[in-house]
Homo-oligomer: A and B are copies of this chain.
Amino acid sequence: MTLIEIDDPEDDRLADYVRLRDVSLRRRLETENGLFIAEGEKVIHRAVAAGYRPRSFLLAERWLASLEDVLSTHPGVPVYVVSEAMAEQVTGFHVHRGALASLHREVRHGVDDLLAMNRLVVCEDIVDHTNVGAILRCTAGLGWDGVLLAPRAADPLYRRSIKVAMGAVFDLPWARLPDWADAVPTLQRAGFTVLALALSDDARDLPEVAASLPADVKVALLLGTEGAGLSSTWIDQADHVVKIPMFAGIDSLNVAAAAAVACYSLGPAGRRSA
């Protein structure tokens, strides 16, 4: 392995790691340079195990041992060893988990790959990385096949999404839709029954829809943005509008909780031995 000690936070070789909390800077920097950041020893192991190629590592010395397997199998990749104080200066926050890696961003699945699957979650403009990460985790964990993202939905490879997804982002197939307006017709042409999760007056209750849906039908579940929910365009185009029955004057669940309930109820997890 190539250990490089660095003691200048302005050193250009650390450019992949600057200001990790500055969302708009990071979005530009990571897209333009084709990289993403994995944080923490576990997440780094998962990213590398899933075949993502590291560009470099940024570590405090005491994390070398726990990553030795990864470092030794990537002998050409620079390992920048810095003090924790310096890591904080570069990244702009206290790196709790002590280890960061920059990896090459890859497009692993196309929209057509996803359309060939049976159970998809489709995120419209969900802009919060925590929510996108949680949705990927529950999509995978509850036995759905993949996630499609509208053009404005948050990036699953953003550090915060990865952390919340607990690695699901590396293994679960997902792809970015090129076009918002044509998304629902595209799903329907590919044979999906499209369900919009929304609060419309004509929405059908989730348990009823779950009970009436044949087990072998292709299902796409549309989820809308945090505040306003799904666009009327997507709601109008969907085959059914579905709502989770709500009580006590609470009008909705958080989108990640709602996604979990719907994936459970409409998917294999809720059917098993029921």
A20: Cβ under 8 A from any B Cβ: no
How far is A270 from B274 in the complex, measured between Cα atoms in Å? 13
B172 touches A248 (CB 8 A): yes
A11 on interface, CB distance cutoff 8 Å: no
- Once the chains bind, are A246 and B207 in contact (CB under 8 Å)? no
Categorize the interface residue count of chain A.
35 or more
In the complex, per-residue mask of A243-269: 1 if CB is within 8 Å of any chain B CB, else 0? 011111111111011111100110011
With known contacts A254-B137, A256-B254, A171–B249 Cβ distance under 8 A: yes
Q: How far is the CB of A137 from the nearest CB of chain B, in Å?
A: 6
For A141, the chain B residues whose CB sits under 8 A away are 246-248, 250-253
- Asked whether, in the complex, the Cβ of A247 is within 8 Å of the Cβ of B268, the reply is yes
| A272-B259 Cα distance, complex, nearest whole Å | 18
Decide yes or no whether A164 CB sits under 8 A from chain B: yes
A250 touches B166 (CB 8 A): yes
Residue A140 interfacial (CB < 8 Å)? yes
Chain A interface residues (CB < 8 Å from chain B): 134, 137-138, 140-143, 164, 166, 168, 171-172, 205-208, 210-211, 244-254, 256-261, 264-265, 268-274
A-B residue pairs in contact (CB < 8 Å), sample of 11:
A142-B247, A143-B245, A171-B249, A206-B270, A207-B270, A207-B272, A208-B274, A245-B272, A257-B257, A261-B264, A264-B265
Q: Supply 10 further A-B pairs (C-beta < 8 A) apart from A207-B274, A245-B269, A256-B257.
A: A134-B254, A138-B253, A140-B248, A168-B250, A172-B248, A205-B272, A207-B271, A244-B264, A247-B268, A257-B259
